[in-house]
Amino acid sequence: MGSGKRALTTAAIALACTVTVLSAPGTACARPGRPAPAPAPPGGSAPTHGGATGAPGGGSAPAAGKDLEAVRRQLDTLYHDAAVATDAYNAAEERAKKQSAHIVDLAREIVKGQQKLAALKDRAGAAARAQYRGGGLPPEVRLWLSNDPQQFLDDAGTVRQGERATEGLLTEMTRTQEDLKQYARDASDQWKELDAERKAKADAKKRIEKEITAAEQLRSRLRKQEQERLRKLEEQAAEQAQTAWLDTGILKDISTRASAEGQKAVRFASDQLGKPYVWGAEGPSSYDCSGLTSQAWAAAGTPIPRTSQEQWKQLRHVGIKDMRPGDLIIYFHDASHVAMYVGDGAIIHAPRPGRSVTIAGAGSMPILGVVRPDAR
């Protein structure tokens, strides 16, 4: 069996092997007649997207001799740029959610502070009324008028205690008023940041729609036979990349079984196969790439960052030779795509607009690195 055919077989058998991969250490559903393959370098750069000419949204219909490889590279560029904009949109969305929650918390603190201030004012008023009823005579005059000096001394002590309590009330009222002012300033700042994130989301949405529209227009100008040839070119490019990755012998060094949480994450991702890619989606009926991985790990009981770039920044990095099912593979130099490793050199991912959640070769795209969501 040739290496290209073996590479194609990888994705087809990956799910059938998943249970074995997850539960048995050192198993990877090896292909007959081939020793298990060794790590490709974890780093990678985005593919070179060159050779296409003309604006993607304009020009005449392609001729029969159109350079479809150049079209494929141009489509890759457009979908990659859409993925970058999608990450920006998702990041702005997450920040906006946190800011909204902070504003709600500040509003609660303001209400509590106002209630506390009203209660303090009532207590201060009661203390002032009590002092007024005691009269405003100097202490020496009240002693002279008193028939019981001891009672006077007792009353004087009580008055001093009341005065100290009143001073404490006034101090607490002042502090509460300052807290309310600070809450109001914080809320105002959060509203400004929230407005900025809303604008960032709107800008990112425009960029996403622009890139996807350009890709759709470019593809629509191809005749039916050219579209079929383009599809085969895309499959061939992915297959060649996967075969080259496997031919390094990478799989012979990957023998770690999944953690319990990783098994849950893989099962969740497997259950989403066939659902459409929709940018910004987090399920349950559709996903984008990081929406799928973040929801899979949330279902496993381990919340992780929403975007592929933040997953790359914040999660623990592991070497390719140490990766196990459930780990996340980050792709392209700018961490603009993410997939879940499921074993035997295969991934589950949400590829791009117009595609569905699917199984693919882990080496079919340039790998930036691998991250592990769970601690073990």
Which of the residues 29, 289, 317, 333 is marked catalytic? 289
Residue 56 in any domain: the answer is no
* CB within 8 Å of 120: residues ≥ 6 apart: 169, 172, 173, 176
* CB within 8 Å of 137: residues ≥ 6 apart: 145
Q: How many domains are contained in the chain?
A: 1
Q: Are strands 328-331 and 337-343 parallel, antiparallel or unpaired?
A: antiparallel
Q: Round to the nearest angstrom and report the end-to-end CA distance of the chain.
A: 38
Q: Among this protein's residues, is 317 annotated catalytic?
A: no
Residue 60 in any domain: the answer is no
What DSSP element (H or E) covers 97?
helix 68-133
Q: Among this protein's residues, is 337 annotated catalytic?
A: yes
Residue 170 in any domain: the answer is yes
Q: Which domain holds residue 126?
A: 1-50+67-376
Residue 19 in any domain: the answer is yes
Q: Among this protein's residues, is 29 annotated catalytic?
A: no
Please give the DSSP secondary-structure letter assigned to residue 356.
B
SS (H, E, C) 186-225: HHHHHHHHHHHHHHHHHHHHHHHHHHHHHHHHHHHCCCHH
Q: Is the torsion defined by CA of 90, 92, 95, 96 positive or negative?
A: negative
Residue 58 in any domain: the answer is no
Predicted confidence pLDDT, tens digits, the chain (376 residues): 444 434 434 444 444 344 334 444 333 333 333 333 333 433 333 333 333 334 444 444 443 435 877 777 777 777 777 787 787 777 777 777 777 787 787 778 778 777 777 777 777 666 666 655 555 545 544 544 455 665 555 555 555 555 565 666 677 777 777 777 777 777 777 777 777 777 877 787 787 878 878 877 777 777 888 878 888 888 888 999 999 999 998 888 776 788 999 999 999 999 999 999 998 899 899 999 999 999 999 999 999 999 999 999 999 999 998 999 999 999 999 899 999 999 989 999 999 888 899 999 999 999 999 999 997 7
Residue 33 in any domain: the answer is yes
User: pTM of the full predicted structure?
Assistant: 0.56
Residue type, position 206, single letter: K
Residue 221 in any domain: the answer is yes
Looking up residue 131, the CATH number of its domain turns out to be 3.90.1720.10
Angle between helices 68-133 and 289-299 (to 10 degrees): 50
